[in-house]
Homo-oligomer: A and B are copies of this chain.
Amino acid sequence: MWLSSTAQNSLHAVLCIAGSADDGPVRVDEIAAVLGRPRNYLSKTLHTLVRAGVLLSTRGPTGGFQLAEKPERLTLARVIAPFEPVSERRCLVGRATCGDAHPCAAHRRWSTVAANVEKFLNKTTIATLLSDNPRATRASREMIRSARLSNRRKPHGSVKR
């Protein structure tokens, strides 16, 4: 039930990146360390978010991933969407023809519940979650800082999408 693991990783990674925004771009290896997921797999996932306009990526030294826009304007739905479209409000029993015209037995009651979840995903922003729990935010940022070996990283250069 709920999100696929890829969508979960997507959300978690974006939260890490947004939480460490002040420290510059976050590298895949750092995210992999925090999430405990394979590096190359996350790389693909993050690249999908770049194509979706959620993230920006920079190659080379001082490179990594950043948010493409202010966290106040980035909803959870937009982060999840590339992996499982939120708009697909599917029938509880999986009937293809289910809808307001030809509802299944569960349609009406389930619709109100599903709409509630969708509203959460569409209205809640990354900024909301960050300020919601500063402790968790700080924790993941500290994990990333300690993963950074030395002070060799400098302010990042140009960014490409």
Q: Is the CB of B1 within 8 A of A93?
A: no
Query: In the docked arrangement, what's the CA distance between A110 and B123, Å?
Result: 12
- Which segment of A2-10, A51-59, A143-151 sits at the interface? A2-10
Would you list which residues of chain A between 91 and 113 have a CB under 8 Å from chain B? Answer: 91-95, 103-110, 113
Given that A1-B3, A94-B8 are known contacts, is A132 also in contact with B113, CB under 8 Å in the complex?
A: no
User: Can you list the 4 inter-chain pairs with the closest CB atoms, starting with the nearest?
Assistant: A8-B94, A12-B93, A105-B129, A105-B136
Query: In the docked arrangement, what's the CA distance between A105 and B133, Å?
Result: 5
* Chain B CB within 8 A of A11 CB: yes
Interface of A, helix, strand, loop or mixed by DSSP: helix
Given that A108-B133, A133-B108 are known contacts, is A12 also in contact with B95, CB under 8 Å in the complex?
A: yes
User: Given B86, B95, B105, which contacts A1 in the complex, CB threshold below 8 Å?
Assistant: B86
Nearest neighbor of A98 in chain B, beta-carbon distance: B136
Nearest neighbor of A12 in chain B, beta-carbon distance: B93
Query: In the docked arrangement, what's the CA distance between A12 and B19, Å?
Result: 43
Nearest neighbor of A15 in chain B, beta-carbon distance: B105
* Chain B CB within 8 A of A21 CB: no
* Chain B CB within 8 A of A159 CB: no
Query: Smallest CB–CB gap between A129 and chain B, Å?
Result: 4
- Chain B positions within 8 Å of A129 at CB level: 105-106, 109
Q: Is the CB of B107 within 8 A of A9?
A: no
* Chain B CB within 8 A of A68 CB: no
Query: Smallest CB–CB gap between A140 and chain B, Å?
Result: 8
Nearest neighbor of A121 in chain B, beta-carbon distance: B113
